[in-house]
Amino acid sequence: MKSFDLKELPSKEAHGHLLAAVGPRPIAFASTVDQDGNPNLSPFSFFNVFGSNPPILVFSPSRRVRDNTTKDTLHNAQATKEVVINVVNYDIVQQMSLASTEYATGVDEFKKAGLTAIESDIVKPLRVKESPVQFECKVNEIISLGENGGAGNMIICEVLRMHVDESVLNEAGLTDSTKLDLVARMGANWYCRANHESMFEVEKPLATLGIGVDQIPDRIRKSIFLDGNDLGKLGNVERLPNDAELEEFAKGSRIRGIFEESDNGMEARELLHQYAKELLNTNEVSEAWKALLCDKLNRV
């Protein structure tokens, strides 16, 4: 691997490495007003949620790399202590990008981007009507992380009110990630889209404690057919199938076929591992374990 001391690289180069490697980054489409009530709208990809009680969002309008100047969003947040953070979905990604243009102070990015400004309930900054989720926030604290170009300014926001479009709620009334169609920043001009086709589920570790990868028998853990994700799934089980369960599973046509068609034990084991891989791809972890352990039976 090539190693870097980022402090020794030109700021622009270090910035490029970081933004390409750390992603996807959610986007805070931040709306603020200045002391005279003039609106400002700008996106920031140094952003995330940092707690739920109290509900805290943090984003960072960094100092510009090219000339070390600071942004209107930062000045407005310092002056008014209020901000609205709107999420960005695929439907508004191009308008969001347009709003990132370095317009002069006082220019209304809502109008430039063709987005609809609507009143907030509690704070003065406006909301983006087209955004499916909007957070009205007060600014609790702003932390400067440096004085050079590229240095961050962490704006710690407490959510006072959250607005969610009813079309992205599930049957239980909760915000549904699969319906939001959010976009996120990568490096350079690249974005990614978190729609239902690109999302996948990972089962949380068992509260009763999974056995862990270290407890997987070597003949399975070192299988050429299984990768790290497969091993992670196999390690997230509370116990292994017992002999009675294996005997019952081995009565199935797929296992009987493997035993009947194999010329030797090693070939059968490889076929069992390939079958287990198929089962793991469909998250049938218990069945995959049975397939893998069938080589314990006196058939191979």
Do residues 178 and 109 both lie within one domain? yes
pLDDT tens track for 188-239? 999 999 988 898 888 888 788 899 999 999 999 999 999 999 999 999 999 9
Question: CB within 8 A of 274, min separation 6: which ones?
Answer: 225
Do residues 136 and 267 both lie within one domain? no
Torsion 131-134-136-141 (CA) sign: negative
In terms of residue numbers, what domain contains 126?
A: 6-194
For a pLDDT cut of 70, what percent of the chain falls above it? 99
Do residues 182 and 287 both lie within one domain? no
Q: Where among 194, 226, 261 does a domain terminate?
A: 194
- For the chain, the average pLDDT equals 93
pLDDT tens track for 30-89? 999 999 999 999 999 999 999 999 999 999 999 898 888 899 999 999 999 999 999 999
The domain that holds 146 is classified in CATH as 2.30.110.10
Do residues 52 and 155 both lie within one domain? yes
Structural domain includes residue 200: no
Do residues 122 and 247 both lie within one domain? no
Do residues 187 and 238 both lie within one domain? no
Structural domain includes residue 13: yes
pLDDT category, 298, cuts 50, 70, 90?
low
Q: Where among 167, 194, 221 does a domain terminate?
A: 194
163-192 burial, b at 16+ Cβ within 10 Å, e below that, comes to bbbeebeeeeeeeeeebbbbbbbbeeeebe
pLDDT tens track for 267-296? 889 999 999 999 999 999 999 999 999 988
In total, how many domains does the chain have?
2
CB atoms near residue 105 (< 10 Å): 11
Q: Specify the pTM.
A: 0.84
Do residues 149 and 278 both lie within one domain? no
pLDDT at 300 over 90: no
Q: Are 134 and 163 in contact (CB under 8 A)?
A: yes
Structural domain includes residue 206: no
Q: Where among 194, 223, 248 does a domain terminate?
A: 194
Structure tokens at 194: 């978190």
Do residues 239 and 147 both lie within one domain? no
Do residues 149 and 233 both lie within one domain? no
Structure tokens at 126: 């406006």
